[in-house]
Every structure is written in C-alpha cells, then in structure tokens.
Amino acid sequence: MALLCLELTGKKIRENIQQVEKYRSSVDLVELRADCLAGEELFQIHKFPLMVSLPVILSIRREETGGSFNASEEERRKLFELGLTGNYAFVDFEAGFQVPSLKEKALNSGIKIIRSFYNLSGVERSALLSSEIPKFEVRSSSTADFLRFIEAVLSLKEEPSCSGRRIFVARGDYGFPSVVLAEKLGSFITYCSAEGRESAHGHSDPETLQEIYRFKNIKRETSLFGIIGNPVMHTRSPRIHNPAFKHLGIDAVYIPFQTDTLPEFMKLMDIMDIRGFSVTIPHKERIIEFLDSQSEAVSATGSCNTVVRRGKKLHGENYDVEGFLDPLKKRLGSERLKGMKATVIGAGGAARSVVFALVSSGVEVCIINRTKEKAEKLAKEFRCKYEGLDESGLDLARIYNNLVVQTTSVGMYPNVDGDPLPEYEFKRDQIVYDLIYIPEETNFLKRAKEAGCTVIGGGEMLLQQAYRQFSLFTGKQYPFNGSRD
Ligand code: ATR
C-alpha cells in the first residue's frame, strides 16, 4: 500500500513540527527538506526524527532539482553527515550525488537510500536493480508531459526483473493524478504538502487526499473518473462525486485532469482506463469530434459536458441543459415555463445550452450580448430576438422580463464587483438566474434579491448536472439530497 508522505518545507524546525502535529493522523511519514531551513536551524537536523516520532526522509535539494540549497557540495556533504547521525528512516540522494562514505554511513545506520532521478529517459536498469529505492520525479507542464510520464511509469512497471520498491512523482497541476493514484502506478510513496504550499493546492494536502480522494482506499483495480478542463484545479466536482462513491461503497475515484490538448488526453484515457469524465471550459465543443455517439442536446448545442466509455466507444451528453432546467422546474413546474418570456445575457458556450433548454421548453427568448454579431448568430439558429448589451438591449430585456439568465463571466471570482447590466432595474415578480457559482451570490443576483426577485445561483445547476453525470458513470442515483460541497 502506497505511503503518504508530508513534505516539510518550513524555514524553521518549529514550523515543521507544527505541520506534523496538524497532519499526524493523516500521513505515514514526513520528509524534512533541510534545504528550506534557515541557516541557524541546520545544526539541529539530526534531532528532528526524535522530535516528530514518525518515520522521516532527509533530503537536501539543490536549486537545479527544485530545492533551495545553494552552498557548496562540501557543505552539503557535511550536512548529510550530521543528519545521518540522527534516527532517519530514509535519506534522499540525487542520482549524481555519489559519496561512498555517506552511503556506507547510511547503510550502517539502517537508513534506507532513496536515489532521485529527475529525468525518466535516463534511467539505468542498474538503478532499478540496486538495493537503493529509485525515485523518478518530473515536472509535468502539459498533458503531453504527463502522458510521457505515465507511459514511462507503466513500462517500468512491466519490467519483470525489477520488482523492488520505487517512487514515481509528477509535479504540478498536470501531474496531480499521480499523487492520488500512487498505488495504481506502483509508487511506494506519494508526496503531499500542507494546504496552500504546493501547486495543485486545494487538492494535495493530506486531509483532502484522505477525506475527499480516499487515498488509502485506492487499489490497482479502483475505477477511474475525472474532469478535464483548463484551468480545472478550482473544480468542486471531486467533492460532489467522491463522497457519493464512498457512501454507496463503489470502488471508484474522481480526479481533476488539467488538460491543454485533447488528443493526448484521449491517449491517457486509454492507457489509464478512465471510464468517464466531465468536460469543462475550454473543451466542451472540441471534445465532440472524439465521440462515437452523442445525445440530441449535444448535437443541438454543439457542446458536451459529460463523456462515458462504453467498451471502446465514447458517448457524450450535455447535462448543462437539464442541469440548468432542473432548478427552474423545481420552482415553477415544467408547464409554467411554456409561454414565458426570457432574456439571456451572453452568447457564448454556456448561453447556447441555456437558449436550447429554454426554447425546447416553450420559452420565448431574447439574447443580448456585448458582441451583437454573436447574439445575432445564436438568435438566428434558435429563432429568437437579439440585441447588443446597450440601450436597445435594455429595452428588449424590459419586454422579455419573466426570467433573466446571466451567462457571461462578469461578476465571477476574482472580479466579483462586475455587473453585466448595471442599468437594468429588476421587478419583484421576476426569476433571475446567474450561472456563476463562485461567488454563490453575484452582485447581479444581490441586486435582484433586494428587488424581491426569486434568485437562482449557478451552484444548483452545477449540482444537478453532476447528479446526472453520477448516474451515467455508475448506473446509480446520486445518494444525497443536496450539496456535499
Ligand atoms: P462560456 O462557455 O462560459 O459561455 P464563452 O463562450 O467564452 O464562455 O462566452 C463568454 C460570454 O461572456 C460571451 O457572451 C462574452 O461576450 P462577447 O461575446 O462579447 O465576448 C461574455 N463576456 C465576457 N466578458 C464580458 C464583459 N466584460 N462584458 C460583457 N460580456 C462579457
């Protein structure tokens, strides 16, 4: 079973001990990155293992390998010598750091050597066969990088003569799945960091790995689901799907895959056996060319937010459409939608799904958008009225006024002060729907609420489409009645 190791990069020993105390119950061991310590702290490094009473890895990384140590090699040797008089479980030496006296000292003290390679192609078979634990660490800065990493890891796993322990690490947002899937990849250790310290933050702290991703429960046969997007690490979807897998006893995990290029992701999907995935910006349109079949909503909107594998075939759905309608139907019933007049603000990808959903429900729609030509194009396709985001647009919106749907990114975190239509005055019997879910209540919705309107935030749509995805992925109904955020 892969071990969870907390990387300690504090400047002070005391700071590192506080981190260990905070996460003690979630991790199996810790790594003291002595290169991050302030100079005056270094003379204590041999005492550190006794201070934390957990197995500890000692490492002193140079800048070239992602560390902060910039004194001479002689200094580094001396520091390792001091450290190795302490009760460390492991010491991490870079591939080129070959000092026989230190190696001997480590072995005589029962300290196991981790040998770090920062380049997957240069791995020698002798490294795999030695008594040291080889660690392969790369930074993944694209989907292609991560694909290369996974291919190399899987081919090393196949080596029949090399059955010993080894460690695989892909750093960065693109590499995040390797953190969760250490056991699946055959990595002896996975590295995590205190909240907010590493890239992929919000995901790779020990508590999130244990509680949301159930790191310790992942086995080689655990089914894999995920979400692709760029950016995607802000996603809340793992917090919706993973607790439901747990609740229903389904052996599966749902992970964010930061994805810049789709052809490489498709190869990843094949070799990692990803069973299904959610699709977010900017891939909702371009994913369609990879599908073997698609729902009517995908064909009509040219947008797909859910893909499931059926054998070798890929099927696409657009649950944004029904996910958008669900909260409206909950408040109005589907019959009352018919004949209503609605203004849709925006004419991008999200607006397409909204306009299709409304028109198919018998709503009369007008589209107003900053770029009038885009409003015109969408409006002609769905036979609606349109205008720019200006005086004429305001006039039209005053007529199409039962429902107002805000689909632009104006008001979204971090630019939360934005309002796409500040001159618009709400009336109390209107329904106002903003697709943005961070923040939960945009300025636009706040104004509507103050005027007495019924307001709906984007969080509800996010949940509704996720519930449908969950059913498609698992064949089971989403088990919770409400948000698991
Ligand atoms: P999505 O898939 O989320 O809809 P999109 O396709 O990029 O994303 O569409 C973004 C929408 O937000 C567009 O309607 C865009 O207006 P333009 O067509 O004029 O670009 C709208 N939008 C983005 N920033 C805006 C701003 N500052 N003011 C008004 N509208 C804005």
Name which residue sits closest to atom 6 of ligand 1, judged by CA. Answer: 348
Q: What is the pLDDT of residue 155?
A: 84
Question: How sure is the predictor about 141, in pLDDT bands with cuts at 50, 70 and 90?
Answer: very high
For the CA of 371, the nearest atom of ligand 1? 19
42 CA → ligand 1 middle, Å: 53
pLDDT over 60 (residue 161): no
**Which of 409, 424, 438, 443 maximizes ligand 1 atoms within 8 Å of its Cβ, making it the mutation to test the pocket?**
409
Q: What is the pLDDT of residue 21?
A: 97
**SS3 label, residue 294:** strand
249 CA → ligand 1 middle, Å: 41
Give tens-digit pLDDT for 278-309.
Answer: 999 999 999 999 999 999 999 999 999 999 99
The DSSP code for 309 is E
CA 206 to chain centre: 15
Q: What's the whole-number average pLDDT of the chain?
A: 93
Q: What is the pTM of this model?
A: 0.92
Question: How sure is the predictor about 231, in pLDDT bands with cuts at 50, 70 and 90?
Answer: very high
Q: Are residues 346 and 393 in contact, defined by beta-carbon separation less than 8 angstroms?
A: no
Q: What is the pLDDT of residue 483?
A: 46
Q: Is 219 a catalytic residue?
A: no
Report how many helices (DSSP H) and strands (DSSP E) the chain contains, helices first.
19, 20
370 CA → ligand 1 middle, Å: 8
For the CA of 345, the nearest atom of ligand 1? 14
Q: How much of the chain, in percent, has pLDDT values that exceed 70?
A: 95
Catalytic residue among 103, 135, 184, 284: 284
409 CA → ligand 1 middle, Å: 6
CA distance 84 to 247: 45
Give tens-digit pLDDT for 58-107.
Answer: 999 999 888 999 999 999 999 999 999 999 999 999 988 999 999 999 99
Give tens-digit pLDDT for 391-431.
Answer: 999 999 999 999 999 999 999 999 999 999 999 999 999 99
Concatenated DSSP letters of 359-403: HHTT-EEEEEESSHHHHHHHHHHHT-EEEESSHHHHHHHHHS-SE
